[in-house]
Structure 1
């Protein structure tokens, strides 16, 4: 299925050369209602933030790709909000742009309604993968996943460690 910004127009023409011979000439045309190199205004998405930062630095997608090691197609997919970037990719992109991965990932906008959501936000704002966070806190990855899904609550000694990591909010 095509995105709402993209329309496909296809025409089939049947041509009969000899009786019993049928050839089909096909032409396809794609059109978009967005111009290349533009991003909708006022959006707080990783794609919008990446696009804005790249444009402010006067970098092309190719130049950012070379500087970060992230494929140009991946950058385009992120900027067009077709791909939600992993923290690992955000870290690579953030470095040449002089930004934090949490900013590019819009982690500052994550909800904090439950303990699990707060733990996940603290992890991501500290730019830690599940493995890095688990090692930092002193538990295994599965335990962190269970905390973030609100299936289990951390013991008080782990909660103290997690809370101490919330420096970005002060």
Structure 2
């Protein structure tokens, strides 16, 4: 049968397959077919290789298939929304399931993934926890970058940071842009920007 398989008509092939197939199971990623004949004897002397020499004589076909890549799958994500979409798909989650994890609406996740809007800074810590990495560059070589990095890592807005430091919001923005620097109060400000300073605070 195997020797003449290539020249058999389609209906004849189907009939023979139905006759010798003992069991066929199909899952999302795996197709497994077990035959009722002793394939070791049947294929002896044939130039045919199969996956596992220790498998049952009735087992020939056992393959795993990669799931089809969804439409608009970001192979090389560049924005935080694309990173979210890639991680969600790789994790096998729906937008609704991820929304529950991040404690936001499904629409929020959809907008972020489609780059229609960016997540508010208060959601960045939980987003980075889901992704397993920080999407913003970390640079603490100077005062300007220390403030910016701390805000993004802890999900703190400029307004809330200003409240913690007892300065105007515009002052925090100016520091981050490098437009000016705190002078005599620098050391005092540095002491305020510590994890302990905001550990028991919830950003507004």
What's the TM-score bracket when you normalise by the shorter of the two chains?
0.5 to 0.7
**Is residue 83–residue 131 contact of structure 2 (8 Å, CA) maintained in 1?**
no
Matches for 1:6-155 after TM superposition, within 5 Å: 36=71, 38-41=73-76, 43-90=77-124, 94=127, 98-99=129-130, 103=134, 106-107=135-136, 109=137, 115-154=143-182, 155=185
| Secondary structure of 1:99 counterpart | helix
Report deviation, 1:44: 4.5
Determine which structure has greater relative contact order: mean sequence separation of CA pairs < 8 Å that are 6+ residues apart, divided by chain length.
1
Q: Is the 8 A contact 2:124 2:155 kept in 1?
A: no
Query: Does the C-alpha gap of structure 1 residues 151 and 77 become closer, same or farther in structure 2, counting only changes over 3 Å?
Result: same
Q: Distance in 1 between matches of 2:147 and 2:177?
A: 10
Q: CA deviation at 1:61?
A: 0.7
The answer for unaligned runs of 5 or more in structure 2 is: 1-68, 196-204
Structure 2: distance between partners of 1:83 and 1:160: 34
Q: How many residues align?
A: 124
Q: So what's the TM-score if we normalise by structure 1?
A: 0.54
Residue 151 of structure 1 deviates from its aligned partner by: 2.3
Structure 1 spans left out of the alignment, 5+ residues: 1-33, 166-170
State the alpha-carbon separation in 2 of the partners of residues 48 and 110 from structure 1: 20
Aligned-pair Cα RMSD in Å: 3.4
- TM-aligned CA distance change 1:126 to 1:74, over 3 Å: closer
Within 2, Cα distance between the matches of 1:135 and 1:102? 28
d(CA) in 2 for partners of 1:98, 1:118 = 20
Q: Which has the larger radius of gyration?
A: 2
